[in-house]
């Protein structure tokens, strides 16, 4: 299994996860399942299963929810190829934090450390009794989205939010109801479960005793429930990368790339409308490709190509990745639509974690010669305005030439909320 883990890391090269690489360098190879999850290529991410990192936390959550007979037994599950005693591993666990660059890696390391050497009761940290039988609570692919909305004080439709509080009344967990699968919680304070310290942002499944005491929640639809009223509580993994300011910065880039993705979706709609207009007026839709607003500006096809390139290159450069190449040979509206869709698919592969260090990435372009921009400046001063400059020209050329488009077609669907 060590050979498999090492080979997988070698295949992925720089994309292998830093935590599994550092463990291997110290002579402790994580089990093949964790290595595979952590080193998973970003293109394998889906809405329901999340990214490899999310899957890794769920894998660890299974161990958190199991009884532990000894440290050596836990070590055997995490590091199956190791025959060393727990002591050398404990020294390694203490030495690794300064070597890790990613916040997510440090969180994973802390979880693994507590699994190997269970944490003691800590003052101010609520300790939850362990429940070792399987608690059947479904998974919700939109859990993070719902909980982020709840954190902003917004609850969709008929949704409800229960707040589980400590004996002193401090909020510990938020439970969502009528929002995807019920009885799914996220902790808003550090908790101790089965000797493992769980940071804010862990998902839990919960069940209550009969006749639970509750009082109305004054701020959100739902109830306030004492934590002692829960009958069963199990963790489901870590889902919410909003722990410190650096995470929020990563999230900002991720959301802005998401806005670019949305605009590309609207651009695809404009091209579809252009084709329909050409059919209705009985002319060749390829005529649009050579149109321009002024003699010294790029033609329509080039405006579409640059819009697509700006989005894909912004994401790739901020994440330190190599963007896919396009040949700029499109001759029809359908081919331009296919290009926009391929970039949307590429942007779908990114997660907030990909933008760790985006602020300080050195961005270079051949025409800048020896100069470069830092990621934050590049995104704010170049990528964003360049993207909207060219996408606005795509829209304006079509609108100027009679295609039935309006401002709503540029903005797209809005996330309207009701009081």
What confidence tens digit (pLDDT) does each residue in 152-167 have? 788 888 899 999 898 8
Q: Of 214, 210, 231, 35, which is closest to residue 128 (Cα–Cα)?
A: 231
Average pLDDT, the chain: 82
pLDDT in tens, 235-271: 766 654 444 445 555 667 778 898 999 999 999 999 9
Query: What pLDDT, on a 0 to 100 scale, did the predictor assign at position 86?
Result: 56
Query: Among 198-212, 266-280, 297-311, which stretch is predicted with the lowest mean pLDDT?
Result: 198-212
Provide mean pLDDT across the span 294-316: 96
Running DSSP on this structure, what letter comes out for residue 158?
T
Q: How far apart are CA 309 and CA 387, in angstroms?
A: 9
Q: What residues have CB less than 8 Å from 51, skipping those under 6 apart?
A: 40, 42, 44, 45, 351, 353
In the chain, pLDDT over 70 holds for what percent of residues? 83
Instruction: Give the mean pLDDT of 385-393.
Output: 97
Lowest-confidence segment of 59-63, 132-136, 254-258 by average pLDDT:
132-136
Query: Residue 11 above 50 pLDDT?
Result: no
- pLDDT computed for residue 264 by the predictor: 97
Answer whether residue 13 shows pLDDT above 60.
no
Average confidence (pLDDT) over 7-22: 59
- pLDDT, residue 404, reads 96
Q: Which pLDDT score, from 0 to 100, does residue 233 have?
A: 63
Q: In Å, what is the CA distance from 301 to each residue of 5, 118, 279, 326, 337? A: 46, 61, 19, 13, 11
The domains located in the chain, with CATH, are: 1-118 (no CATH), 120-241 (no CATH), 245-411 (1.20.120.450)
The predicted pLDDT at position 332 comes to 97
d(CA 37, CA 54): 8
The pLDDT of residue 318 is 92
Residues 6+ apart with CB under 8 A from 196: 64, 111, 114, 115, 118, 119
Q: CA-to-CA distance for 286 and 284, rounded, in angstroms?
A: 5
The answer to whether 6 and 30 have CB atoms below 8 angstroms apart is no
* Residue range 81-123, pLDDT digits in tens: 765 555 678 788 888 888 887 777 888 888 888 888 887 777 8
Contact 222, 201 (CB under 8 A): no
Q: No. of H helices and E strands in the chain?
A: 14, 12
d(CA 336, CA 239): 36
Residue 134: which region, alpha, beta or left (left: phi > 0; alpha: psi -120 to 50)?
beta
Q: 332-382: per-residue pLDDT in tens?
A: 999 999 999 999 999 999 887 788 778 888 998 888 989 999 988 999 999
* Mean pLDDT across 60-69: 82
Nearest by Cα to 247 from 347, 101, 174, 355: 355
Among 25-39, 49-63, 130-144, the range scoring the smallest mean pLDDT is 130-144
Rounded to whole angstroms, the Cα distance separating 223 from 214 reads: 6
Tell me, what's the pLDDT at 355?
84
Per-residue pLDDT tens over the stretch 168-214:
888 998 888 888 877 788 888 888 888 888 888 888 888 776 667 78
pTM of the prediction?
0.55
Q: Residue 139's pLDDT is what?
A: 58
Closest of 114, 117, 107 to residue 53, by C-alpha = 107
- Please tell me which residue, 279 or 359, carries the higher pLDDT value: 279
- Amino acid 311: pLDDT: 96
């Amino acid at each position: 299994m060590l050979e498999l883990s090492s080979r997988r890391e070698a295949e992925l090269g720089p994309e292998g996860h830093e935590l599994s690489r550092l463990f291997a360098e110290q002579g402790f190879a994580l089990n093949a399942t964790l290595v595979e999850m952590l080193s998973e290529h970003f293109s394998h991410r889906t809405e329901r299963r999340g990214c490899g990192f999310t899957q890794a936390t769920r894998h660890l959550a299974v161990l958190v929810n199991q009884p532990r007979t000894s440290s050596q037994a836990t070590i055997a599950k995490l590091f199956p190829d190791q025959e060393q005693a727990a002591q050398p591993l404990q020294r390694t666990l203490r030495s690794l934090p300064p070597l890790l660059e990613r916040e997510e890696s440090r969180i994973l390391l802390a979880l693994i450390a507590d699994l190997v050497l269970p944490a003691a009761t800590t003052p101010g940290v609520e300790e939850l009794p362990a429940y070792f039988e399987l608690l059947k609570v479904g998974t919700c692919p939109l859990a993070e989205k719902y909980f982020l909305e709840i954190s902003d004080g917004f609850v969709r439709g008929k949704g409800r939010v229960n707040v589980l509080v400590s004996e002193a009344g401090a909020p510990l967990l938020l439970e969502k109801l009528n929002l995807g699968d019920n009885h799914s919680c996220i902790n808003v304070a550090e908790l101790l479960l089965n000797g493992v310290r769980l940071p804010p942002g862990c998902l839990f499944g919960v069940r209550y005793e009969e006749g639970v005491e509750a009082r109305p929640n004054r701020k959100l639809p739902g109830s306030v429930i004492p934590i002692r009223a829960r009958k069963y509580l199990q963790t489901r993994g870590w889902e919410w990368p909003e722990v410190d300011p650096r995470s929020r910065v990563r999230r900002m880039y991720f959301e802005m790339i998401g806005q670019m993705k949305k605009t590309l979706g609207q651009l695809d709609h404009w091209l579809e409308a252009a084709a329909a207009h050409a059919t209705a007026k009985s002319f060749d839709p390829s005529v649009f490709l050579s149109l321009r607003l002024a003699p010294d500006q790029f033609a329509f096809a080039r405006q579409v190509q640059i819009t697509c390139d700006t989005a894909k290159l912004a994401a790739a450069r901020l994440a330190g990745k190599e963007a896919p190449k396009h040949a700029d040979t499109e001759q029809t509206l359908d081919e331009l639509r296919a290009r926009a869709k391929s970039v949307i698919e590429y942007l779908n592969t990114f997660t907030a974690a990909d933008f760790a260090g985006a602020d300080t990435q050195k961005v270079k372009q051949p025409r800048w010669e020896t100069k470069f921009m830092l990621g934050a400046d590049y995104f704010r001063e170049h990528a964003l305005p360049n993207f909207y400059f060219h996408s606005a020209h795509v829209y304006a050329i079509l609108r100027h030439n009679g295609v039935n488009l309006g401002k709503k077609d540029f903005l797209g669907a809005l996330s309207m909320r009701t009081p």
